[in-house]
């Protein structure tokens, strides 16, 4: 029987070397899991990295979608690839609150467009179309404090609106044109008009 010239038996040394490399690599990867981020911020290695990544990405989508300002350098909204520089994203009511957090936390606060979208959700979706925020743990009028403290509920509520209403409330102008010196003030909500 002739031997295939293109193959040769693996020597014991090569086999042991490959196994050692794989074993070393697996120990290295186990050590790389590190800390993860949960709803309360940074936590120890709990093996829940995928859920933490999803939570961080959900927060990122929320701040982009609802046009929050952030403490990202140069007053720019961070890109998705910038998230590796941050251990968490927190939502606050005011820019001045960012001093309470370390530099590796991305702090986001409502901007002018965030306020306009919230007003539209209250006025057009809830008052105008009768959308019910109560299944999401929210009540009319939804406040900016609700948006910041219950961001997941607010996000889920807005995403539950039918597509045409959703598109309409997400447009920040709604017939309120920009003046040279800024936006016209939004009317007071009070209670839903009859």
Is the residue at 193 inside a domain?
Answer: no
Shared-domain flag, residues 100 and 119 = no
pLDDT at position 148? 96
Quick one: average pLDDT of 144-167? Answer: 92
Provide the mean pLDDT of the chain. 76
Domain of residue 176 covers 112-183
Instruction: Write down which residue in 109, 125, 150 finishes a domain.
Output: 109
pLDDT band with cut points at 50, 70 and 90 for residue 40: very low
Q: How many domains does the chain have?
A: 2
Instruction: Write down which residue in 109, 140, 165 finishes a domain.
Output: 109
pLDDT at position 188? 67
pLDDT, one tens digit per residue, over 98-150 is 899 999 999 999 988 888 889 889 888 888 888 999 999 999 999 999 999 99
Q: What is the DSSP secondary structure assignment for residue 142, as one 8-state letter? A: P
Instruction: Write down which residue in 81, 109, 137 finishes a domain.
Output: 109
Task: Give this prediction's pTM.
Answer: 0.67
Cα–Cα dist 122/127, whole Å: 6
Is the residue at 96 inside a domain?
Answer: yes
Shared-domain flag, residues 66 and 48 = yes
Coil vs helix vs strand at 169: helix
Distances (CA, A) of 112 to 40, 131, 178, 183, 186: 27, 23, 12, 9, 11
């Amino acid at each position: 029987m002739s031997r295939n010239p293109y193959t040769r038996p693996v020597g014991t040394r090569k086999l042991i070397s490959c196994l050692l490399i794989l074993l070393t690599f697996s120990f290295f990867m186990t050590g790389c899991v590190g800390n993860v981020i949960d709803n309360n911020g940074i936590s120890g290695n709990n093996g829940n990295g995928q859920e933490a990544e999803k939570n961080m990405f959900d927060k990122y989508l929320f701040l982009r979608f609802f046009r929050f300002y952030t403490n990202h350098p140069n007053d720019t909204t961070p890109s998705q690839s910038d998230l590796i520089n941050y251990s968490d994203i927190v939502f606050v009511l005011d820019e001045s609150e960012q001093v309470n957090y370390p530099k590796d936390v991305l702090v986001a606060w409502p901007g002018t467009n965030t306020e306009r979208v919230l007003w539209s959700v209250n006025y057009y979706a809830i008052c105008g179309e009768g959308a019910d925020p109560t299944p999401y743990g929210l009540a009319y009028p939804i406040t900016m404090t609700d948006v910041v403290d219950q961001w997941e509920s607010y996000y889920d509520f807005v995403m539950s609106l039918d597509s045409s209403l959703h598109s309409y409330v997400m447009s920040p102008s709604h017939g309120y044109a920009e003046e040279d010196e800024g936006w016209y003030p939004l009317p007071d909500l009070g209670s839903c008009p009859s």
